[in-house]
Amino acid sequence: MKTALTLFFLLFFRHPSVLAQAQESFPTHYIGIGIGYSFDHISDQNFSPLHQKGQGLFYTLFYEQRKENILKITLTYGNNSLKSGANDDFTSDHYFVDVGISYLKNLAASDAATKFYLGGAYGLRITYLDWKDQDAFSYIATNGLSLSGAVETKINDKQRIGTRVAIPVVQFLSRPPYNGIDEFIIAHQDNPATILFNGKLASFESYKAITWNINYSREILAHFNWNVNYNFSLQKLDQEQEYKSISNRISTSVLYKF
Amino acid sequence: MKKTILICTLVLLVSCAKTFIPKEEPLTNSTTFELFWTDFDQHYSLFDVRSIDWNALYSSYQTKVHEGLSEADLWNLLASLIENLDDSHTVLYDGNGHSYRSGYVLNEQSIAEISEELIRTSYVERLKEVSSEDQLAYGKIKGKNIGYIYLGSMDGQNPASIHTIIEEFSNVEAILLDVRQNTGGDDRYAAAMAKAFSDGKHLIYTVATRNGPNHDDFDAKKNYYTAYDPSQTFSKPVVILTDRKTISAGEIFLLHMKSFEHVTQIGDTTAGDFSTISNMRFLPNGWHYRYSIQKVLLPNGESLDGIGHIPDMYVKNTVENIAAKEDKVLDTALKYLLDTYGID
């Protein structure tokens, strides 16, 4: 953990002039909007001894600034229905929101065709499960810092393919209490943000997650790019009431370049 | 080669969901029973308070479970298992509109022991309903300077509406506060309603929520006090009327009310089910259920779970009383006000 944190801070604070340099040499900005399909498997013992699985649409908005290094801000929202058990009566609503800001520093030569990046990210990630208007509900909310690495290859002047991995290192984790409800939840039921941000620092032993992403980008017009994205995400929480989730998300997006 | 590696990696990741997420529980009678019993064992809060030997019940019931049991037989077996808890917050649902509620026989009987029509026609001058609230109505007792309030649930949106009623009752000499058949709801609503009758700040109960696999694993107790606003309180005599179906937040309301000096409880003993109920829990065959997850204790550490609020004056109606247009509970309350305070 200490090594990861040291690396994280070194990357961001060793060269305080990184952002200033980028401003001097005209970085490229992108604003993008995307739509995708998510395939989700969740096993949340706090919610149910039965597994939940389903799929549905999700939407993304993002801003990206590229030059030598990459700054990206992303908002993802999706909701779908998850099924479990012997009949459809147990179909529950599944909502997820991911907000992230990442900064990746290029480690390769500026003119290299393949570039290697290393950096960090802050992310807020909320998953909420609800059965019949809160007759049963559960959630997992994390916010904190991740280490992130990426590789990108220029196929030609108009096409690029890249992959990125992020592993959380310091996360505040919020989960329902052992029995799903307690006096804190009851007292703050009208203010869900208080419940979702009532997180505790999670140890690396108890909370593990990884997101892996493959991205293909093609310039379709002078100011427009088209992206295809595959995202794999895994979360595992080792507590008395275990939580595991796997998501496979495929999406496409259009980016305006300026 | 690169393409092959990429495709293989994708296939591997997609298929790893099956290994990462453990296998589903099989749909058998044994699995259903084991999940049901174990979930109660690890989460239900009142084994000690209600003196339940859950392990002994396992030994007794598990031997009756086999794959030859019909769905109806298994249902009856699980219903019979939870009947031992005598806790009407414990309910089993089949998902097709049928349910079984533990310890509910007396509660159910009491439905026929009160008549709204009788109250409207024989006891209250004009029963006005508060449209914004759930089952809140009021009026004056016929021919007497006594107010009557019916509060049938704790699920209203605006507890401040009680102050409007009390303002209208500013000249009455006493209030009959009828919480018979009060099905509960939000404890905070109960506290806000009770504040309108408060005579001070009193420690009235503590709540601890089960937070671990052992039967005695509970989080820290949270203390609850009555609220008090001397400028907005009804301090003349109040008689609170109860029956077996006064339950849950309705009983929390009584914890508040009975701490006030000028309040008297008349009627039947209440249900004795105080805890917040759990989220819905699920079984592979489509059945689902709920149970109690908290321990509500009096300041002296005693519990009223399984006991209920014992009235200061015990009286209950029979079906025959109601048929004879007689509400003995209301009659007794009116006689009490006359005998004790000379209020007529």
| A21 has pLDDT over 60 | no
Mean pLDDT of chain B: 93
Identify the pLDDT of residue A132: 87
Q: What is the ipTM of this complex?
A: 0.84
Helix (H, G, I), strand (E, B), or coil: what is residue B186?
A: coil
A 10 A CB-CB count for B246 gives: 33
Tell me: pLDDT of A1 over 90. Answer: no
The reply to whether residue B211 touches residue A43, judged by beta carbons under 8 angstroms, is no
Average of per-residue pLDDT across B120-146 = 95
If one compares B1 and B334, the residue with the highest pLDDT of the two is: B334
Residue A13, CA distances (Å) to A16, A104, A117, A120 in order: 5, 13, 16, 12
Write out chain A residues lying below 8 Å of B212, CB-based: 178, 240
CA pair distance B42, B54, nearest whole angstrom = 11
Between CA A106 and CA B110 the distance in angstroms is: 75
**Measured between alpha carbons, how far apart are the two ends of chain A, in Å?**
39
> Is the confidence at residue A12, as pLDDT, over 60?
no
- State the best of B38, B282, B291 to mutate against chain A, taking most chain A CBs within 10 Å: B282
Does the pLDDT value for residue B12 go beyond 80?
no
pLDDT digits (tens, 9 = 90+) for B231-246: 999 999 999 999 999 9
Instruction: Count Cα neighbours of B340 within 13 Å in the Cβ-side half-sphere.
Output: 16
Instruction: Give the pLDDT of residue A16.
Output: 40
Sheet with B281-282, edge to edge strand ranges: B99-101, B91-93, B288-290, B281-282
The answer, yes or no, to whether residue A23 has pLDDT greater than 50, is no
Half-sphere exposure of A24 (CA within 13 A, CB side): 5
Q: Give the whole-angstrom CA distance, residue A244 versus residue A238.
A: 9
Contacts of A135 in chain B (CB under 8 A): 279-280
* pLDDT at site B3: 58
Angstroms from B118 CA to nearest CA on chain A: 36
Which residues neighbour A225 within 8 Å (Cβ) at sequence distance 6 or greater? A30, A32, A217, A218, A219, A254, A255, A257
In B20-173, the DSSP E strands lie at 91-93, 99-101, 128-129, 136-140, 146-151
Q: Does B210 touch chain A (CB under 8 A)?
A: yes
Minimal C-alpha gap between B211 and chain A (Å):
5
Confidence at B9, pLDDT banded by 50, 70, 90? low
Q: How far is B242 from chain A, CA to nearest CA, in Å?
A: 26
Q: Residue A112: its pLDDT value, please?
A: 87
B282 with A49: Cβ contact below 8 A:
yes
Helices (H), A84-240: 183-187, 192-196
Beta strand pairing call for A70-82 and B91-93: unpaired
The tokens for A73 are 């801000």
Quote the CA–CA distance of B334 and B103 in Å, as a whole number. Answer: 32
Average pLDDT over residues A81-93: 85
More confident residue, A66 or A26: A66
Strand partners, A30: A64, A257
Fold entry, domain A2-257: Lipocalin (2.40.128)
Residues of chain B in contact with residue A43, where contact means CB-CB under 8 angstroms, are 21-22
Cβ count within 10 A of residue B242: 32
β strands within B88-188, DSSP E: 91-93, 99-101, 128-129, 136-140, 146-151, 174-178
A41 chain-B contacts, CB cut-off 8 A: 17, 20-21
Is B27 in Cβ contact with A179 (below 8 Å)?
no
pLDDT at A19: 38
Distance (Å, rounded) from C-alpha A178 to C-alpha A193?
A: 19
pLDDT per position as a tens digit, B185-223: 999 999 999 999 999 999 999 999 999 999 999 999 999
Predicted local distance difference test score (pLDDT) of residue A24? 46
Provide the pLDDT confidence category of residue A89 given band limits of 50, 70 and 90.
Answer: confident
Q: Under a CB-based contact definition with an 8 Å cutoff, are residues A107 and A118 in contact?
A: yes
What would the mean pLDDT of A130-155 be, rounded to a whole number? 93
**Is A64 in a helix, a strand, or coil?**
strand
**What does DSSP say about strands A114-131 and A136-156: parallel, antiparallel, or unpaired?**
antiparallel
- If you measure CA to CA, which chain A residue comes closest to B23? A51
Query: Considering the entire predicted model, what is its pTM?
Result: 0.86
Name the band, by pLDDT with cuts 50, 70 and 90, for residue A87.
confident
Select from A50, A90, A182 the Cβ nearest to the Cβ of B209: A182
The rounded distance, in Å, linking the Cα atoms of B282 and A47 is: 9
Report the C-alpha gap between B158 and A198 in whole angstroms: 28
Instruction: Compute the nearest-CA separation of A105 from chain B (Å).
Output: 25
C-beta atoms of B25 and A50 within 8 A: yes
Mutation for A interface: B7, B13, B21, B283, most A CBs within 10 A: B21
The tokens 């305080």 sit on which residue? Answer: A16
Write the pLDDT tens digit of every residue in B63-91: 999 999 999 999 999 999 999 999 999 99
pLDDT of A34 above 90: yes
The pLDDT of residue B106 is 86
Closest Cβ opposite residue B25 in set A47, A49, A244? A49
How many angstroms separate the CA of residue A52 from the nearest CA in chain B? 10
Strand extents, DSSP E, chain A: 28-44, 52-66, 70-82, 92-106, 114-131, 136-156, 159-174, 200-202, 207-221, 224-237, 243-257
- Reduced to 3 states, what is the DSSP secondary structure of residue A143? strand
Instruction: Tell me which chain B residues have a C-beta less than 8 angstroms from the C-beta of A179.
Output: 43, 45, 209-211, 278, 293
pLDDT average, residue stretch A228-237: 95
Domain locations along chain B: 108-197+234-272+308-341
For residue A153, which residues of chain B lie inside 8 Å, CB to CB?
none
Measured between beta carbons, which residues in chain A are less than 8 angstroms from residue B205? none
| Minimum CA–CA partner of B222 in chain A | A183
Give me the percent of chain A exceeding a pLDDT of 90.
71
| Better-predicted residue by pLDDT, B298 or A51 | B298
Contact A230 B10 (CB under 8 A): yes
- In single-letter form, the type of residue at position B274 comes to F
How confident is the model at residue A84, as a pLDDT? 86
Query: A74 CA to chain B: closest CA distance, Å?
Result: 23
Say how many CB pairs under 8 Å bridge A and B.
Answer: 99
pLDDT recorded at residue A199: 87
pLDDT computed for residue A15 by the predictor: 43
Question: B285 and chain A: CB distance < 8 Å anywhere?
Answer: yes
State the architecture of B108-197+234-272+308-341 in CATH terms: Alpha-Beta Complex (3.90)
Q: Which amino acid is at B117?
A: E
Residue B230 is predicted with a pLDDT of 93
